[in-house]
């Protein structure tokens, strides 16, 4: 049995490696090694974590908040950030903010860090969990730069975010997979490599969280996130739904899941790179033809082999398909691949460094109860570990969720290149489910916010696709008001009504 497996891996791997060698000699350079590529991606955001991952090998620096000295799976504290600009004088209790650690049940020694922000509107609002991608980037990026309750001012004070998603929901953010953000382990075996590990950890966390907070168990529950969370979210939603059906524990009132500028079906999305780049004037027709002729077919083969060839084939397929992405970037000079309207200055595309400065302050760390654990904004170790998962198609589990009435929203900023709207639209339209024909035939209608068109929406039954205007990869950062309105309407089941009303107005005109 072992011999046949080895033979299969060799048969699968050899043509992929040959493809890499002949198509792109530059892929053998050091800059394309995963560890260096990860660090380059992180430095583009002006993030320089001191550790590659929070794998703590000395126990004297473990979190001091009684995490290891309790039989409880969850240890949390009321949270009030220092330097919070708060004109209303709200008490810590009324604020309802918490930070904590969950001792991951099916792990060797892993602890998952999380934030919980009670709704500013009503405790009965939906519970919404947010997952940041990377893979390996902490959800604090979203907390402070996208849809969290606060923004970090240049003087390191916190100011309220007028468009924080906690205005219409009870918000959960988690640092995951293990090793990311303030989450840590003393055992390197706890670093996850696939969606089974990721989704099981998240499901177990939810069970512990709702056991700790039974007052939220009956609230509607939604899963959201962006980028590589396009992998995490479908697997996590399927895990929750499977647990509900099997009555494994506390019933989680899952109503829907939303993916923003995500990577979900790489086989479709990588093929869309040259078409999107051509349509936006990033490459010429001749360059597009060259990429489509020489680079796309090997990627298609590699993705197919990943579907049947195991870890080695999937890792190799990442390098084969990444040639497409890098080939376009090599022709695009200093373009910001998260938002093609912008240029990167040297290696700097965004400056998120205030997050690291803020979270490394002694007063902040004391408020969070994280002890001496380093804050790893983005983990190159986690990034590399997930390479075997990267090219897998996570669309495959979605139709079953749609058939059971679980709502799905795919939204994408129109100027993002790395997880562009075109690739996302293609896999959504090609997805086979009972409502596919009706969804494909449905009209594209304006998404109206404040009497202006903020995007274009398609909807049928439980499936919605929204192309967001004037936004890149980070929609809640680029279009905070529109993204808040999107979340509000979607969780209330009224997302398509604005488009329907707009159609009526157009018809009347």
Residue closest to 49 by CA, chosen among 434, 501, 410, 373: 373
- CA–CA distance, 481 with 93 (Å, rounded to integer): 28
Amino acid 366: pLDDT: 94
- CA–CA distance, 190 with 335 (Å, rounded to integer): 37
- CA–CA distance, 303 with 315 (Å, rounded to integer): 10
Q: Which residues are designated catalytic?
A: 227, 416, 473
Amino acid 479: pLDDT: 98
Supply 247's token pair. Answer: 């009555």
Other CB atoms within 10 A of residue 111 CB: 27
Other CB atoms within 10 A of residue 261 CB: 29
- CA–CA distance, 489 with 496 (Å, rounded to integer): 8
Residue closest to 23 by CA, chosen among 246, 264, 303, 326: 326
- CA–CA distance, 213 with 216 (Å, rounded to integer): 6
Amino acid 309: pLDDT: 74
Q: List domains and CATH numbers for the chain.
A: 1-32+293-331 (no CATH), 59-266+357-508 (3.40.50.1820)
- CA–CA distance, 440 with 252 (Å, rounded to integer): 31
- CA–CA distance, 347 with 334 (Å, rounded to integer): 8
290 burial type by CB count under 10 A (0-12 exposed, 13-18 middle, 19+ buried): middle
β-pair partners for 446: 456
Per-position pLDDT tens, the chain of length 509: 444 443 454 455 555 555 555 555 444 444 456 667 777 777 777 777 777 777 887 544 444 444 444 457 899 999 988 878 765 666 666 788 999 999 999 999 999 999 999 999 999 999 999 999 999 999 999 999 999 999 999 999 999 999 999 999 999 999 999 999 999 999 889 899 899 999 999 999 999 999 999 999 999 999 999 999 999 999 999 999 999 999 999 999 999 999 999 999 999 999 999 999 999 999 999 999 999 999 999 999 999 999 887 889 999 999 999 999 999 999 987 899 999 999 887 667 889 999 999 999 999 999 999 999 999 999 999 999 999 999 999 999 999 999 999 999 999 999 999 999 999 999 999 999 999 999 999 999 999 999 999 999 999 999 999 999 999 999 999 999 999 999 999 999 999 885 555 444 434 43
- CA–CA distance, 47 with 338 (Å, rounded to integer): 15
Amino acid 503: pLDDT: 45
* SS3 assignment, position 128: strand
Residue closest to 191 by CA, chosen among 253, 107, 131: 107
Q: What is the DSSP string of 255-300?
A: EEEEEEEE---HHHHHHHHHHHHHHTTSS-HHHHHHHHHHTHHHHH
Dihedrals φ, ψ of 79, to 5°? -120, 130
**In terms of residues, how long is the chain?**
509
* SS3 assignment, position 458: strand
Residue bearing tokens 């059971």: 404
- CA–CA distance, 287 with 295 (Å, rounded to integer): 11
Residue closest to 304 by CA, chosen among 267, 341, 349: 267
Prior bond to 135 cis, omega within 30?
Answer: yes
- 300 contact partners, CB below 8 Å, separation of at least 6: 267, 271
> Apex CA 86: angle with CA 80 and CA 92, to 5°?
30
184, 54 contact by CB (below 8 A): yes
> Can you list the alpha helix ranges (DSSP code H) found in 331-446?
353-359, 362-368, 380-385, 387-390, 398-403, 421-430, 436-441
Residue bearing tokens 């002890």: 371
Amino acid 237: pLDDT: 98
Which long-range contacts link 392-395 to residues 24+ away (Cβ below 8 Å)? 392/195, 392/231, 392/266, 392/306, 392/307, 392/314, 393/264, 393/265, 393/266, 393/267, 393/303, 393/307, 394/195, 394/230, 394/231, 394/234, 394/235, 394/264, 394/265, 395/234, 395/264, 395/265, 395/427, 395/431
Dihedrals φ, ψ of 152, to 5°? -95, 120
Please report, to the nearest 10 degrees, the dihedral formed by the alpha carbons of residues 180, 113, 354, 31 taken in order.
0
Amino acid 89: pLDDT: 63
130, 147 contact by CB (below 8 A): yes
């Amino acid at each position: 049995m072992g011999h046949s497996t080895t033979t299969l891996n060799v048969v699968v791997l050899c043509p992929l490696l040959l493809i890499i060698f002949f198509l792109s000699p530059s892929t053998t350079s050091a800059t394309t090694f995963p560890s260096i590529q990860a660090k380059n991606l992180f430095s583009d955001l002006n993030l320089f974590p001191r550790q590659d991952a929070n794998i703590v090998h000395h126990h004297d620096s473990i979190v001091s908040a009684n995490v290891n000295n309790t039989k409880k799976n969850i240890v949390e504290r009321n949270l009030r950030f220092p330097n919070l600009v708060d004109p209303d004088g709200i008490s810590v209790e009324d604020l309802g903010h918490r930070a904590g650690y969950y001792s991951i049940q099916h792990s060797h020694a892993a602890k998952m860090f999380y934030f919980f922000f009670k709704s500013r509107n009503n405790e009965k609002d939906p519970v919404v969990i947010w997952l940041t991608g990377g893979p390996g980037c902490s959800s604090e990026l979203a907390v402070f730069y996208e849809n969290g309750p606060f923004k970090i001012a240049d003087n390191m004070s916190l100011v309220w975010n007028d468009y924080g998603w906690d205005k219409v929901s009870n918000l959960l953010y988690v640092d995951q997979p293990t090793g990311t953000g303030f989450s840590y382990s003393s055992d390197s075996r706890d670093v996850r490599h696939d969606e089974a590990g990721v989704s099981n950890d998240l499901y177990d966390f939810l069970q512990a969280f709702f056991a700790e907070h039974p007052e939220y168990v009956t609230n509607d529950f939604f899963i959201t996130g962006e980028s590589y969370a396009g992998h995490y979210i479908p697997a996590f939603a399927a895990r929750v739904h499977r647990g509900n059906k099997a009555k494994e524990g506390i019933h989680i009132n899952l109503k829907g899941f939303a993916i923003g500028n995500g990577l979900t079906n790489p086989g479709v999305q990588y093929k869309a790179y040259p078409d999107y780049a051509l349509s936006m004037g990033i490459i010429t027709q001749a360059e597009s033809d060259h990429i489509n002729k020489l680079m796309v077919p090997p990627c298609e083969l590699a993705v197919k082999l990943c579907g049947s060839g195991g870890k080695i084939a999937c890792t190799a397929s990442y390098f084969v398909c990444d040639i497409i992405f890098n080939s376009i970037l090599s022709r695009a000079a200093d373009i910001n691949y998260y938002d093609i309207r912008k240029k990167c200055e040297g290696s700097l595309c965004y400056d998120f460094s205030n997050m690291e400065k803020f979270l490394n302050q002694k007063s902040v760390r004391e408020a969070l109860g994280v002890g001496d654990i380093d804050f790893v904004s983005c983990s190159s170790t986690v990034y590399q570990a997930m390479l075997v998962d990267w090219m897998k198609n996570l669309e495959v589990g979605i139709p079953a969720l749609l058939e059971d009435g679980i709502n799905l929203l795919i939204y994408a900023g129109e100027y993002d290149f790395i997880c562009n709207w075109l690739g996302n639209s293609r896999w959504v339209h090609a997805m086979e489910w009972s409502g596919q024909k009706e969804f494909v035939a449905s009209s594209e209608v304006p998404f109206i916010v404040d009497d202006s068109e903020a995007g274009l929406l398609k909807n049928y039954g439980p499936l919605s696709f929204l192309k967001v205007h004037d936004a890149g990869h980070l929609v809640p950062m680029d279009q905070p008001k529109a993204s808040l309105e999107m979340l509000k309407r979607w969780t209330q089941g009224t997302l398509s009504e604005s488009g329907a009303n707009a159609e009526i107005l157009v018809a009347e005109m």
